[in-house]
Structure 1
Amino acid sequence: MPVKWVLHWHPSAGFSVNTQIMNEISQCVESLNGVKDGRWRSVLTFYKPITRDQSTAAEFPRDFLGLSIPEQPSKYYFIIRGQRIVLEADLTIQSIMETLQSYKSRVSLNFEGIQYQLGDFQVRVGKVAPSHSETMRGIVMEVEYLPISSVDKSRQILDDFVDIWKETLSKKSLPGQFLHIEPNFGEYGLSDQYTSQHTAVQYATVMAQLIATVQSTQGVRN
């Protein structure tokens, strides 16, 4: 499948994300002749173990993430960052987990927005908000290069595209910038050929960055 980069918006010191910034970002995509191609939505859930017997608590991962993505609607992905494990399961695993009551959902974040086509690229821009809330916690951008499935071979092409994109965005003088932090996919046992598990690992990385950004913003305000 095509290689994808997942970027997140890092606000400048003293600033936070808002709808106006996301609208300006969307306008930049359209200024590069991006054609709207519908909406998209991914859901990232943070799970915690239900440990009735504390003596067995060490046998369970302290926490892990679950992810559903639009390109694989029948699949569900688990990421245990501490042990560098990523797994693909059938979507029904969620109901099985509820029945077993071994883990509970602590919080879910919706990543949703507009999808665009730009020649050989597909771009998604979306807000990050907790489920059942409109409060924006972040902004993400997916950049997918459709012709290539090799992580290594596509890196320079995606890097050049992101540079052009950042240059276009800089004309808006927005208080922040998009960051791309590529995980070490090899640590998760993933090969050079891109899969949805690569996407799951990237979202886990973005989640960690968003949490750090929110905490640092709150620290500045306090």
Structure 2
Amino acid sequence: MGVKWVLHWHPNAGNTVNTQIMNEISQCVENLNGVKEGRWKSVLTFYKPITRDQAMAAEYPRDYLGFSIPDQPDKYYFIIRGQRIVLEADLSIQTIMDKLQSYKSRVSLNFEGIQYQLGDFQVRVGKVAPSHSETMRGIVMEVEYLPISSIEKSRQILQDFVDIWKDTLSKRLLPGHFIHIEPNFGEYGLTDQYTAEHTAVQYATVMAQLIATVQTTQAIRN
């Protein structure tokens, strides 16, 4: 597995995301000779504990995130943000969790769009929307440098690629920009060698940023 950066779209004050902006972003990737490889989809689910006995509530994490990605179709990833824990499990764990009735799904966000190949890079552009809804809540972009799995060794290469792409995108004068926030992977016990767990942690970080952006936009409107 190469190293991925997951970026999210930060709208300018007073603006929101829409399909036109996502189409413009996709067009920029194609202008850089990106070749379409098909569609992709990841799902991030927010779980809350079912606490029948309040005295036991303190023994359970207050919440956790579940994450499925197309790269690892047989795996499921858990992120407990409070304790900085990320775990890989077999996909069947979802069925086990349903039977245990310890946690329930509160919200699921779908990240889905088009996958492109640009030489040694794989790029995914997609919308963020709640499951069972077409309402767009955000836009994300995955950039993966395929030849290297070391985060440190690939950092400058990824930065140079993203800078070139951002420069191309800036010519379209869209009302916002992409942000890349790299989590402290060491806090989750992750090393320099990139894995799917790193991707899960990045998406958890993006989700938190998207929620903050929506809340800020609503506050401005009110």
Q: Name the TM tier (shorter chain).
A: over 0.9
State the match for 2:206 in structure 1: 206
State the match for 1:150 in structure 2: 150
Aligned partner of residue 14 in structure 1, secondary structure: coil
Q: CA deviation at 1:148?
A: 0.3
State the match for 1:110 in structure 2: 110
Aligned partner of residue 23 in structure 2, secondary structure: helix
State the match for 1:84 in structure 2: 84
State the match for 1:162 in structure 2: 162
- What pairs with 1:29-40 in structure 2 (closer than 5 Å)? 29-40=29-40
Aligned partner of residue 135 in structure 1, secondary structure: coil
Matched, 1:28 2:28: yes
Deviations 1:70-123 (A, max 9, x none): 000000000011110000000000010000000000000000000000000000
Aligned partner of residue 77 in structure 2, secondary structure: strand
- What pairs with 1:58-137 in structure 2 (closer than 5 Å)? 58-137=58-137
Q: Structure 2, unaligned stretches of length 5 or more? A: none
Q: CA deviation at 1:54?
A: 0.2
- What pairs with 1:47-58 in structure 2 (closer than 5 Å)? 47-58=47-58
Q: CA deviation at 1:155?
A: 0.4
- Measure, in 1, the Cα distance between the counterparts of 2:3 and 2:113: 20
Aligned partner of residue 105 in structure 2, secondary structure: strand
One-letter code of the match for 1:181?
I
- What pairs with 1:169-208 in structure 2 (closer than 5 Å)? 169-208=169-208
Q: CA deviation at 1:136?
A: 0.2
State the match for 1:218 in structure 2: 218
State the match for 2:2 in structure 1: 2
One-letter code of the match for 1:196?
A
One-letter code of the match for 2:45?
T
- Measure, in 2, the Cα distance between the counterparts of 1:164 and 1:60: 45
- Measure, in 1, the Cα distance between the counterparts of 2:79 and 2:38: 28
TM-score, reference length from structure 1: 1.00
TM-score, reference length from structure 2: 1.00
Q: CA deviation at 1:199?
A: 0.2
Aligned partner of residue 58 in structure 2, secondary structure: helix
- Measure, in 2, the Cα distance between the counterparts of 1:221 and 1:32: 36
How many pairs does the alignment contain? 222
Two-structure CA RMSD over aligned residues (Å): 0.4
